[in-house]
Amino acid sequence: MEAYRQEIIIGAVIIYMVFCVCTGLWAMRRTKNSSDFFIAGRGLGPVVVSLALFSSTLSGFGFVGGPGLVYSIGVSSFWMIVISSTGYALGFFLVAKRIRMIADVRNCISLPDVLAARYNSEAVRFLIAIAIVLGVMGYLATQILAMAVVMQAILSGTAMFADIGLVACVVISSTVLIFYCVTGGIIASVYTDVVQGAIMMIAGVLILLTAMSVFDGGMQEATSIILADDGEAMMPFGAAGIMASLGWFFVFGLGLAGQPHLVTKMMMNKKISDNRSILPMSLLGYVMAALLWVSIGVIMRAAVIDGVIEPLALPDDAASLFLSIFTNPLLAGIVFAGLFAAIMSTSDAFLNIGTAAIIHDIPKAIQGHAIQNELFWARVVTVILAIVAASFALYSHFQDATLVAILGAFGWATFAASIFPVLAIGLNWKGATALGAVAAIVSALLINFIVQLAGIVLPYGILGGLIAFIVSLVLFIGVSLVTKKPELDADMEAVLNI
Amino acid sequence: MRSNLIYVIFATVLLMAGILVAICLADTVPNAAGVAHEQFNGMQAGGDGAARLEHIGGLAFAFQALLLVLIVCLAALGIAEERRSPELWAYMGGTLLFSLFVWWQMYSGHQAFLETGVTRYFMGFPVATAWQVYGTWLGAIPLIVLYSVGFRKFVFTVEDERKYEQLLEKIAEKSEQ
């Protein structure tokens, strides 16, 4: 079996991609209007929503960057995942019920739709839509690039595709992504997410079992090797220190309820009462998949320190080298398919919300009404958005990384800082005002942009995103308290009372 | 009675902002956010843990304690005002105490390691790190249990569902007219 390692891995990835294409074709028949395209007609069951929710949370960053971060900074990066239980809990307490109700009452198909209804403000709609578009471009470009780099690494190991270029890999991977997103919209996206989520859960558990067998003394031997080399790396705050760790706890924990690609999925379930089972199921799936992040990172750092393997050229090589050195080919095939699943499940969610912002929210904020034939334009814009993001990815790789880096600043932390106060607190506090919301969004975008562009380094590893988040929270509540309490429409008042 | 919860949340966030400012103004120590590993390219080392916490340890501890207070207050904000009963607050208080206990065990375990250089292990990790890995994750499980098990009592009661359906019917009637 070892002799066919590369063929088995390619076979697993091809089977997965064919599945995505078939799902797109199947979902196309169920996509009849823009509501189906963007929020699956609000008719999904709890298992589908749970798997779609957690698989969109854990992107390619989790499968590639996560183990790389543990290799690089030790336990510090664990803070991004141990917070998942708090993050999901807050997301459901603060957002899940009311976002679903407002979506129903006002027939909303996007997050800016919901916020425009809540604040009765087109300015809030416009600003959130702009933040989403900027964030989506950065996220999508990095995800497409990651997908292409992994594909090139797999294919170049075979005689037939030894010289395959990155451009060809971008084209192949983006084509599959575009195909199922364009044909089946969010329905294809969530049903591929179900399989993607299942693959990620299986991969996480199998990798943990494999990792525990690398050293005779299991995980404890690996952690004691790291501890002996540098005590701080294996202690709770890791190499990056206490403030970086607590910053990640804050931004990843509270911030989950501000991620547009995740909260949009909370609008898609058939019944509000399903939320009680969606929450624990999503968390369980996430925890199983995240085992890969912790176990590969710890084992690879210990293996290098102990001289079992050579030092890595790049921390992000941790996952792929672990798979090629320590796993059998079948497991490597499953995990590589899981890696594509993780990247695609996040990318399709971003394509969907980005398209909604462009063809639905921005025109509505400017002209006061939606464009004609939304479903047709949704499909056109999905293609254009993916092509532009892929072009950004290639330009960044070959010419200049600055553009994607700037857009990448509009990642998790910016969504968290700009959207969490406005959405999570705003849906639960009738005193929140449109002016407070505008102040919070603008300050979050500006602080993140300035910190990124000016390359500001804060003492003790404090994150720029943490500063932006706290300033945004202070401004949102403070400005709302000093501005005139809004008069809510009767239906909105009723929703906020329930 | 009008709820003061948003003021508690606002005060907590302001205190956290004040602590962040204090940390930014505190004396700095070299490599407080890590330093390149001497031997292995791409790896960072933490170095002298005691020195890194010397000026900001207490502030960082307070920052995290306030964050745990904020989390519980935000979860309570997600429950309709009339259902924030003494029973709910007792449960939330218990959740907060449990989270603070986990945080204290983690922080003091780290301090003990810095003083002695030795540690016990629990399920594969040094004890202080095990509190982080398992304890932090478990710290929010009471909130998950409250949401799932107490869904019909606190989050979305049968009465809520009835009101919501009436609202939808009213909107449907209005749009038909």
pLDDT digits (tens, 9 = 90+) for B106-158: 999 999 999 999 999 999 999 999 999 999 999 999 999 999 999 999 999 99
Say how far apart CA A62 and CA A196 lie, in whole Å.
14
Percent of chain A with pLDDT over 70: 97
| Interval B20-47 mean pLDDT | 92
Q: Tell me the range of A27-31, A65-69, B40-44 where mean pLDDT is highest.
A: B40-44
Whether residue A450 is predicted with pLDDT greater than 60 in this model: the reply is yes
Q: What is the DSSP letter of B56?
A: T
A279–B contact, CB cutoff 8 A: yes
Say if residue A403's pLDDT is above 70. Answer: no
Question: Is B46 close to A243, i.e. CB distance below 8 A?
Answer: no
Q: How many CB atoms lie within 10 A of CB A271?
A: 13
Nearest CA in chain B to A461: B33
**In contact, A29 and A256? CB cutoff 8 Å:** no
Q: What is the pLDDT of residues A90-115, one digit of tens each?
A: 999 999 999 999 999 998 889 999 99
Integer CA distances (angstroms), A232 to A69, A226, B36, B37, B46, in order = 15, 9, 13, 12, 5
- How would you classify the pairing of strands B125-126 and B44-45? unpaired
Do you know the residue count of chain B?
Answer: 177
Highest mean pLDDT among A146-150, B117-121, B168-172: B117-121
> Look-up: residue for tokens 């002799």?
A3
Q: Using CA of residue A298, residue A16, residue A42, residue A137, what is the dihedral sign?
A: positive
**Any CB–CB contact under 8 A between B109 and chain A?**
yes
CATH code of the domain containing A339: 1.20.1730.10
What is the H or E stretch that residue A475 is in?
helix A464-482
Distance CA A282, CA A262 (A): 11
- pLDDT band at A42; cut points 50, 70, 90: confident
Residue A12 belongs to some domain of the structure: yes
Region of poorest pLDDT, from A334-348, A355-369, A468-482 = A334-348
Q: Is B30 on the interface with A (CB under 8 A)?
A: no
Nearest to B49 among A73, A232, A424 (CB): A232
Domain annotation covers residue A438: no
How buried is A456 (Cβ within 10 angstroms: 0-12 exposed, 13-18 middle, 19+ buried)? exposed
Mean pLDDT of A285-309: 93
Strand partners, B125: B122
What's residue A468's pLDDT?
Answer: 95
Amino acid at A413: A
Q: How far apart are CA B28 and CA B11, in angstroms?
A: 27
Crossing angle of helices B141-149 and A84-91, rounded to 10°: 30
> How confident is the model at residue B174, as a pLDDT?
82
Confidence label for A416 from pLDDT (cuts 50, 70 and 90): very high
- Distance CA(A182)–CA(A71), nearest Å, equals 38
Domain count for chain A: 1
Higher-pLDDT residue of A242, A157: A242
Q: What is the pLDDT of residues A385-394, one digit of tens each?
A: 989 988 888 8
Mutate to test the interface with A, among B38, B55, B71, B102 (most CBs of A within 10 A): B71
Nearest by CB to residue B136, choosing from A82, A227, A279, is A82
The answer to whether residues A154 and A161 touch, using CB atoms and an 8 Å cutoff, is no
pLDDT digits (tens, 9 = 90+) for A249-263: 999 999 999 999 899
Higher-confidence position of A23 and B61: B61
- Evaluate whether residue A458 is within a structural domain: no
Q: How many CB pairs lie under 8 A apart between chains A and B?
A: 258
Give buried/exposed letters for A28-63 (b at 16+ CB in 10 A, else e).
Answer: beebeebbbbbbbbbebebebbbbbbbbbbbbbbbb
The ipTM is 0.95
Confidence of residue A404 (pLDDT cuts 50, 70, 90): low
Taking residues A140-157, what's their average pLDDT? 81
Mean pLDDT of the A236-245 span? 96
Q: Mean pLDDT throughout B159-170?
A: 93
pLDDT tens track for A169-222 = 888 888 888 887 777 777 777 787 888 788 888 888 999 999 999 999 999 999
Which residues have a Cβ under 8 Å from the Cβ of A155 and sit 6 or more positions away?
A: A10, A161, A164, A169
Tell me which chain A residue has its CA closest to the CA of residue B4.
A429
Q: How confident is the model at residue A401 (pLDDT cuts 50, 70, 90)?
A: low
High-pLDDT (> 70) share of chain B, %: 98
pLDDT of residue B1: 43
Please tell me the distance in Å from B122's CA to the nearest CA on chain A: 8
Average pLDDT over residues B14-26: 97
Check CB contact under 8 Å for A75 and B132. Answer: yes
In this structure, is residue A46 part of a structural domain? Answer: yes
- State mean pLDDT over B79-89: 94
A277 touching chain B per CB within 8 A: yes
Establish how many alpha carbons lie within 13 A of residue A422's alpha carbon, considering only the half-sphere containing its beta carbon: 38
**How far, CA to CA in Å, does A135 sit from each of A88, A124, A350, A385, B2?**
21, 16, 9, 12, 38
How many CB atoms neighbour CB A216 within 10 A?
Answer: 6
B162 to chain A, closest Cα gap in Å: 10
Pairwise CA distance, residues A254 & A422, whole Å = 13
User: Distances in Å between the alpha carbon of A94 and those of A71, A353, A429, B75?
Assistant: 35, 21, 10, 7
Range of the domain at A204: 2-400
Q: Which of B106, B144, B168 sits opposite A280 (nearest CB)?
A: B144
Task: Note whether A305 contacts B: Cβ–Cβ < 8 A.
Answer: yes
Contact list, A74 vs chain B (CB under 8 Å)? 44, 46
CA A371 to chain centre: 28
CB contact under 8 A, B46 and A236: no
Whether A471 maps to a domain, the answer reads: no
Check if B69 contacts A (Cβ < 8 Å).
no
**Residue A450: inside a domain, yes or no?**
no
d(CA A431, CA A255): 22
Band of residue A410 on the pLDDT scale cut at 50, 70, 90: low
Q: Check CB contact of B33 with chain A, cutoff 8 Å.
A: yes
Chain mean pLDDT for chain B: 94
**Does A494 fall in a domain?**
no
The confidence score (pLDDT) of residue A121 equals 94
C-alpha span between A332 and A337 (Å, rounded): 8
pLDDT at position A409 is 52
Whether A347 and A140 have beta carbons less than 8 Å apart is answered as: yes
Confidence class for position B24, pLDDT limits 50, 70, 90: very high
Name chain A contacts of B161, Cβ cutoff 8 Å: 272-273
Asked whether residue A482 is domain-assigned, the answer is no
Residues of B in contact with A220 (CB under 8 A): 121, 124-125
**Set of chain B residues whose Cβ sits within 8 Å of the Cβ of A478:** 10
How does the average pLDDT of chain A come out, rounded?
A: 88
Four-point Cα dihedral A206, A208, A211, A212, nearest 10: -110
Cα–Cα distances in Å, from A283 out to A86, A337, A354, B63, B141? 10, 22, 26, 26, 10
Contact at CB, B23 and A462, closer than 8 angstroms = yes
From the CA of B136, how many Å to the nearest CA of chain A?
Answer: 6
Cross-chain Cβ contact B163/A220 below 8 Å = no
